[in-house]
Chain A
Amino acid sequence: QVQLVESGGGVVQPGRSLRLSCAASGFTFSSNGMHWVRQAPGKGLEWLSVIWYDGSNKYYADSVKGRFTISRDNSKNTLYLQMDSLRAEDTAVYYCARWGNSKKLDYWGQGTLVTVSS
């Protein structure tokens, strides 16, 4: 069965960096694009970024463009989100999601919490 497991969250000071990982299993990782979505405490869902199955294309939300970088290592079945210049408003649970056919985000991980605080 499809499994996505995020890791790398924690408490970080404003202005610092953090890298999140999403380990995938149960499907051919190199065949699917992948997304990152976040959810601030008590708030709704915010789409952040997508990467094509082969890493050839990437898109970002304006809120993270220039600060966050999505990448993947298909040999390790792992998706990444490099987060630089973190701000208090980046505090959220970060989810990875698989990009299935018909452009659907069909499987989601359990999420990893990032807290940006001094």
Chain B
Amino acid sequence: DIVMTQTPLSSPVTLGQPASISCRSSQSLVHSDGNTYLSWLQQRPGQPPRLLIYKISDRFSGVPDRFSGSGAGTDFTLKISRVEAEDVGVYYCIQTTQFPHTFGQGTKLEIK
């Protein structure tokens, strides 16, 4: 199985400042079709997960453009350009290149 490792596990951020979360996979996430199926999800307190980014860098419908994804192969990053209060929650990466799909442990974003 592919192991997904996120860092940091906790990220205190000042409102209006940028935030960055890293996700590393134990093997390449490049699919045989040439695409890399790495997504980012946000889970606000008491809410179900919500898709933010898919295929490394494609923003899902309705996601603010302050969220961006980047990376390739085994190393990926989610960036928030200017953190807002509503961004508080836990962020997960997930690989859907291979079964079983696997999640990172989650990164808790909190406001300083």
Selected interface stretch from A17-25, A70-78, A103-111: A103-111
Q: Please determine whether B48 and A44 come into contact, CB atoms closer than 8 angstroms.
A: no
Residues of A within 8 A of B69 (CB): none
Q: Which residues of chain A have C-beta atoms less than 8 A from B60's C-beta?
A: 104, 106
B99→A50 contact, CB < 8 A = yes
The answer to whether B37 and A103 have CB atoms under 8 Å apart is yes
Report the minimal beta-carbon distance from B77 to chain A, rounded to whole angstroms.
18
Task: Decide: B96 and A104 in contact? CB cutoff 8 A.
Answer: yes
In the bound complex, residues from chain A placing their C-beta under 8 Å from that of B11 are: none
Contact call A45/B58, Cβ cutoff below 8 A: no
Residues 31-68 of B contacting A (Cβ, < 8 Å): 31, 35, 37, 39, 41, 43, 48-51, 54-55, 58, 60
> Is A11's CB within 8 Å of the partner chain B?
no
Number of interchain pairs (Cβ within 8 Å): 66
CB distance from A50 to the nearest CB of B (A): 7
A47 in contact with B92 (CB, 8 Å)? no
For the complex, would chain B's binding face be called helix, strand, loop or mixed by DSSP majority? loop
Q: Is the CB of B96 within 8 A of A103?
A: yes
Q: Per a CB cutoff under 8 Å, which of B43, B54, B55, B103 touches A46?
A: B103
Contact of B55 among A37, A61, A102 (CB under 8 A): A102
- List the A side residues contacting B20 at CB < 8 Å: none
Using a Cβ–Cβ cut-off of 8 Å, how many residues does chain A contribute to the interface with B? 23
Q: List 29 A-B contacts (CB under 8 A).
A: A35-B101, A37-B49, A44-B90, A44-B92, A44-B103, A44-B104, A44-B105, A44-B106, A45-B49, A45-B94, A45-B103, A46-B103, A47-B94, A47-B100, A47-B103, A50-B99, A50-B101, A62-B1, A62-B100, A95-B48, A95-B49, A102-B37, A103-B31, A103-B96, A103-B97, A104-B54, A104-B96, A106-B60, A110-B48
A-B complex: 4 closest residue pairs judged by Cβ atoms: A104-B54, A47-B101, A103-B96, A59-B99
Residues in chain A within 8 A of chain B (CB atoms): 35, 37, 44-47, 50, 59-62, 95, 97, 102-111
